[in-house]
Structure 1
Amino acid sequence: MLLQFHPWASAVEAPFWQVLTQRKMDIFKLDDSHKAVLGYYSTGQQVRVPGKDTTIALPARLNPAFTFPAPGIIKNTNTIEDFKAIDKSALFKMVVDQIWDDITSGRAVSDPMLLNRFLLLTFADLKKFKFFYWFAFPALQAEPAWMTEPAQELVSVWSSLQVSSLLHQYDLFRQTHPPGQLGFFLVKETNDSVSVARLQDWNEFYAGCDDSEIIVGFADPSSLDSHPGWPLRNLLALIQFHWQKTKLRILCFREVPGKQDIQASKILTVHLPSYQPLTTCPKAVGWEKNAQSKLGPRLADLAPLMDPARLADTAVDLNLKLMRWRLLPGLQLEKVQDTRCLLLGAGTLGCYVARSLLGWGIRNITFVDSAKVSFSNPVRQPLFAFEDCLEGGKDKATTAAASLRKVYPGVNAQGHTMSIPMPGHPISTQLYESAQKDVAKLEDLFEQHDAVFLLMDSRESRWLPTLLGTRMKKIVINAALGFDTFLVMRHGVGQDSEHHSVASSTPLGCYFCNDVVAPTDSLSDRTLDQQCTVTRPGLSAIASAMAVEMMVSLLHHPLGVRAPADKADGDGDQDAKMLDDQGSTLGLLPHQIRGFLSRFKNLLISGQAYDRCTACSDQVLEAYEQEGFGFLVKVFQDAKHLEDITGLTKMKEESEALDMEWAEDSDEDNDM
């Protein structure tokens, strides 16, 4: 009767698609060339139906998790249209030609797993987590076809001693040969024992044997009594080409994994009605049928099986990695993602900055604010809702963090309700200990984060964070709003004489470097319009976006926080030109952006660090290092203390004296 075969059935587990997703996003990108892939299969099994005296034959499955290897190629198309329109016949023929070349060259004799070559055509819809795929397991067709006698149970052909000997010898064979050799092997029976050898040992192993003594074994993935597994087809072509056999016995080796049980193995006697030498590549079959038993692709929809939070993670990463695929190969997404951001202020600027940070895939965001959500907030501050205003209002910092986690569960968002002590705002005896704890907490938060955003309402509230940022050499991004103007700037790291020559001949200044007065109390006795940030509604979103983009650009500069300031093209900034070949991947990196919404215009400005700055100068840093919280208390009680230690007081006195002299000279001239 005609020899028929049990076809392969693919069994792709979810981890394979996860790995394909990762490789597509991080390595392959838009590369749709062929990639090597390795599948595995085990020998055929039958399982007993509980409560019944019947068994069910399991399909002959090829998947990534068992014993015997099968090399393949995967072609992952970039669009579903490519998947549908691709020349499948050409791909199939390519793999068939490889198998035929492996047979004729002898490679398949020394490395028989090459007989199991397969093709996997895929399209990965990474937005919906749907994977379209189609397997092909090419098998060469014999003409005329092989015939067979009814299969015999192994135990009915061999004695128990021979069966035990085969099991023992195959175990030794498995221990001494690589996995690629194990799926196809030679068997020879002698009295009560059995020997096992490699295919490439055919001539020596069967020397002096006639054809009736030749037994070729293969790991049979089929569990059917009458049909051997698909790998036998190419094995027979190999035997026909190299050893011109027209009749031989085949051992369908079927082992229960882990149980040392090969009782289900079969012996087949196969023959060709007439011998014809193989001189050209035979025809081949092998495309897998789909779930409807038709030739066509299958679909793996993983979305219902995946954790929604994990889906969000992958979707966020995908949008960013698409930017890197097409436009910015140098984009350091992992570095951006790992940046820990501290937002001082959870108001309008804080809410918009946080949302922009999420857009960049940043996973660690911490809010600090002392206020509660008011009824005027939700329409301007997108992390708050009407319910947050009720019963006196929820704490802004913790509410913003909770809202951010609702937007994206993968973010580690925390909120701290606390005040930031300020110059010119005296601390009473009763609040001394509380202020000391707030300062210690703020120092800890600065230590734990990489980038700090100053997004507060008042000038003096930015002084202590500016001091801490300079002292710890942190990235500090400042954003401030007017009615139709805004300022976004990155702080320098003070005089920083140790690294001065590396970064720039003019160290960049901080928010306070342009002042010749110390920050003082600007919050007392304010009218209603002064108590609220009166600004055009769209301005905060613009300024917040620029603040985040400035930080991301800074992360991509090789000098980091010490990067010099770029100016607009054509401004002739010498430092920018010198470092043009190693600047930020994302383009210009200015020091300050001053925007004017009434004119829809932005100016890029650079400001030098001031050696008498009340926030970042060496005198202030040294005083803080020496006196600690005691120094801060002096500043909180009287901001003029900053002018005294930086020399601004003396400079003003000298300037006033100079004015007096000029005035006296002027009077004398008039008298004349």
Structure 2
Amino acid sequence: MPIVQFVPFSSLVQPTLWHKLTDLKIDVLKLSDAALPITASYSIGRSVHDRETGQEIALPCNLSVGSESFEHDHKPPHGSVSATGTLKNYNTIEEFKAADKTALFNQEAQDVWNNIIKTRDTSQLSRFLLITFADLKKYKYYYWFAFPAFVSKPAWEIGEEGWRKASEEFELSSIHAQLRGQSSPLPYFLIKKDASGGVSIAPLESYEEFYASTSPEAQTIGFVDPSADPNNPGWPLRNLLAYLRALYPATTSTLRILRWKDSEVPSTPNASWKSQVGTLKVGDAAPIDPALGRPTAVGWEKNPQGKLGPRVADLAPMMDPTRLAAQAVDLNLKLMRWRILPALDLDKISSTRCLLLGAGTLGCYVSRALMGWGVRTITFVDSGKVSFSNPVRQPLFEFADCLDGGKPKAECAAASLKKIFPGINSSGHTLAIPMPGHPIPPSPASLAQAKADVAKLEKLIDEHDVVFLLMDSRESRWLPTVIGAAKGKASLIIIVLNAALGFDTYLVMRHGARASSLSTGADGKPHQRLGCYYCNDIVAPADSLTDRTLDQMCTVTRPGIAPIAAATAVELLASLLQHPEGLYSPAPPTTTAAAGAALDSDQEGINSVLGLVPHQLRGFLNQFRTMPLVGAAYDRCTGCSETVLKAYETEGFSMLLKAFNDAKYLETLTGLDKLFQEGEDALNAVDWHEEGDEDDF
């Protein structure tokens, strides 16, 4: 009699599996090569009709895996059954190639055998192994499947009648209805006829009870056959036969096998049932003795060249470039968490909405650094246009942006970010920020425009979490400082970061929280009250732009200052966002020794995952030195004092208008004028006495 030939499984890998593996590798597995449980599914064998020859062409015996394969409670598609397996992903291609594949295969085969002997669980009979290496930079995935199946010695033989139509022996519609009525699909099942000619089925695990009073000749074993080949059954039958011979050797040397290949009832009278039945015999060999160990197993999948070897899936050519970029841009950040910063909260940074007031040199470099940290929402505000002096110093602009009078800086910068990464949510707004010392013309149109500008700035600040002050002048920072500080009582606390440049010096600082919002930290200590940009300056902001020479009007700096300051400001934000106290995080000590000790201590309460969170950083490029400072809040500050903030909240635009038009208003409001007078009075009260005569000089 002919020896039974089995059609091996052919892996069908959906691209979604590689996308899911990429996410797992980056966010969960990292450097771990621990084995993962995985599921797959297979269905009845299918064929296609060749119109030219009129023949039926059998499709491969597919076992399909996709992103759902990592879901433990995933249910297979209609008409399919599940298979369980193991995925082992390696960190390098060298490890993948050098893996002890024999040991891995034998372990998987042993697991199948143990389930047969110890638990009689049939859900593990079609178990598989998948080893992989994911080259995440090139989007190439190397993989190799194994489907362990036990070898029968001697081989099984098919009876003289071969495989014949099952509809000639069974009422297949009844079997179909009973299979559909199961709570979960049965990959293997028992069949018997009752006295009236009816058919009943049961799970394979019920073999002894179900066939207790049934002769071997009346017993039929069914399985969902993924093979469409009319002469050769699918791979799952191999382990099914090994299961029966190991557990029930006395009654299984000859078996009637039903190859179930009908997921649907034939829809037309001319259509016929596809399922087949046949009789298999194993010869006179001794039954399998579980005490002697498991039989030999085979099952590594061959590659497209017909040789034993791995396959390669190259997703790069078929992926949307935008999606490729979206997965790749944050790769560096996620790799940081593998070895260096496992506690880094990247979602907190990426979800932070940043408003950049100023789209010049600082604004360009700050935006690029924010993108490097994964920030996805960046908004520019600027009143200028791109000039011919900008592109060499401001990396978001190019020569073409300067033509025809220049493009609006804010909108142009936002468009440039989208060219760099289409997934960024960037926008630009041309807006002139009203400033103290720059009176608003009394015409109704000018007042209306100033009021609209203030309202728009307030709305933009409301819609963002962080405001970067990156403007050229001191007075232009006053209004956003006041608005940002006033949010201290609202549910949304705004972080304000300041960056200012000198010729070869820079200042980067975070504004402290509003005094009325301070309470106690997680350690029970009162929040530290830190100052804003204006707290260390007892001079109210005034006009610094009028009657200035060209070098005084332009920010003349060494070329390296701006990117250093911009990067420092963004890194300060990242550290601040990672601190559990956020905006209220205390400033570290300013002495080098104390700061070093604090950085090494976990009990100071001043460190974030990224280290210290300073209040101010003053850099001196001529000395290549950066000095951390702490500036206390000042109760007469023109930017963040409660006097100014309450006046703004009470009077609104009318208060701001006074500050714009009256150079003395803020000094009077905060009491700085009295402080000046007290200083003058103290100087005048001193009786100055000079020793010696003029001839002594």
- The 1:194–1:258 alpha-carbon spacing in structure 2 relative to 1, beyond 3 Å, is closer
What's 1:252 paired with?
Answer: 259
- In the alignment, residue 237 of structure 2 is paired with which amino acid? L
Residue number in structure 1 paired with 2:101: 88
Q: Which residue of 1 aligns with 2:169?
A: 158
State the partner residue of 2:73. Answer: none
8-17 vs 505-514, greater mean Cα deviation: 505-514
State the shift of 1:653 in Å.
1.2
State which of 621, 628, 637 in structure 2 corresponds to 1:613.
637
SS of 2:455 mapped into structure 1: helix
Superposed, which structure 2 residues align to 1:258-657 within 5 Å?
Answer: 263-279=273-289, 280-428=293-441, 429=443, 430-472=445-487, 473-496=493-516, 498-499=518-519, 504=526, 506-567=528-589, 569-571=592-594, 580-581=604-605, 583-657=607-681
1:558/1:582 contact within 8 Å kept: no
Q: Aligned to 2:519, what secondary structure does the other structure show?
A: helix
Residue 225 (structure 2) aligns with: 220
- Separation of aligned partners in 2, 1:497 and 1:198: 68
185-194 or 39-48: bigger deviation: 185-194
Flag structure 2 segments of 5+ consecutive residues without an equivalent: 66-75, 488-492
Q: How much has 1:258 moved relative to structure 2?
A: 7.8
* Aligned counterparts of 1:165 and 1:467: Cα–Cα separation in 2: 79
Match of 2:189 in 1: 185
Change (3 A) 1:339 1:352: same
Distance 1:578 1:319, change over 3 A: closer
| Residue deviations 1:225-255 (CA, integer Å, cap 9, x gap) | 0000100000100100111121010001112
Q: RMSD value over aligned CA atoms? A: 2.1
User: Contact 1:166–1:193 at 8 Å: present in 2 too?
Assistant: no
Of 114, 119, 126, the match for 1:116: 126
Q: Post-superposition shift, 1:210?
A: 1.8
Please tell me whether the aligned partners of residues 481 and 535 of structure 1 are also in contact (alpha carbons under 8 angstroms): yes
Distance 1:337 1:291, change over 3 A: same
**Is it true that 1:73 corresponds to 2:73 in the alignment?**
no
Q: Which letter does structure 2 place at the counterpart of 1:227?
A: N
With the length of structure 1 as denominator, give the TM-score of the two structures. Answer: 0.95
Q: Distance in 1 between matches of 2:51 and 2:23?
A: 41
Does structure 1 retain, via aligned residues, the 8 Å contact 2:535–2:638?
A: yes
Count, aligned residues: 659
Cα deviation for residue 275 of structure 1 reads 2.9
Q: Deviations over 1:50-96 (max 9, x none)?
A: 46522211111101364201000000001111111111111000001
The alpha-carbon distance between structure 1 residues 667 and 47, as it changes in their structure 2 partners (threshold 3 A), is same
Higher helix share: 1
User: What is the DSSP-based 3-state SS (H/G/I as helix, E as strand, rest coil) of the residue aligned with 2:404?
Assistant: coil
Whether 1:21 and 2:22 are equivalent positions in the alignment is yes
Tell me which moved more, 335-344 or 500-509.
500-509
- Separation in 2 of the partners of 1:443 and 1:259? 69
Deviations 1:608-656 (A, max 9, x none): 0000000000000010011100000000001321111111111111221
Matched AA of 2:16:
P
Matched residue type, 1:493? A
Per-residue Cα deviation, 1:282-302 (whole angstroms, up to 9, x for no partner): 111100011111111111111
Counterpart CA distance in 1 for 2:51 and 2:434 is 74
Shift of 1:166: 2.0
> What letter matches 2:232 in structure 1?
H
The 2-side partners of 1:199 and 1:497 are apart by 69
* Rounded Cα–Cα distance in structure 1 between residues aligned with 2:586 and 2:517: 15
CA distance in 1, matches of 2:282, 2:97: 39
Separation in 1, partners of 2:17, 2:596: 52
Q: What 5-or-longer segments of structure 1 have no aligned partner? A: none
| CA pair 573-491 structure 1, distance change in 2 beyond 3 A | farther
Residue among 199, 210, 213 paired with 2:215? 210
Q: Sort the Cα spacing of 1:50 and 1:590 in 2 relative to 1 into closer, same or farther, 3 A.
A: same
Provide Cα deviations, 1:467-487, integer angstroms capped at 9, x if missing partner: 111111311110011111011
| CA separation of 1:221 and 1:68: change in aligned 2, threshold 3 A | same
In 2 relative to 1, CA 325–447 (structure 1 residues): closer, same or farther, beyond 3 Å?
same
SS of 2:208 mapped into structure 1: helix
**Cα 1:217–1:569, aligned 2, differ >3 Å: closer, same or farther?**
farther
Q: Distance in 1 between matches of 2:528 and 2:613?
A: 15
Distance 1:155 1:13 in 2: 33
- 1:490-524 residue CA offsets vs partner (Å, 9 max, x unmatched): 11023235426767564000000011110000000
Check 1:102–1:506 CA distance in 2 against 1; reply closer, same or farther (3 A cut).
Answer: closer
Q: Which amino acid aligns with 1:477?
A: L
Identity over the aligned pairs, expressed in percent?
Answer: 52
Superposed, which structure 2 residues align to 1:142-157 within 5 Å?
142-149=152-159, 150-155=161-166, 157=168
- Relative to structure 1, the CA distance from residue 139 to residue 155 in structure 2 (aligned partners, 3 Å threshold; closer, same or farther) is closer
8 Å CA contact retained: 2:173, 2:265? no
After superposition, the Cα gap between the structure-2 partners of 1:52 and 1:40, relative to the gap in structure 1 and judged at 3 Å, is same
Deviation at 1:274, TM superposition (A): 1.1
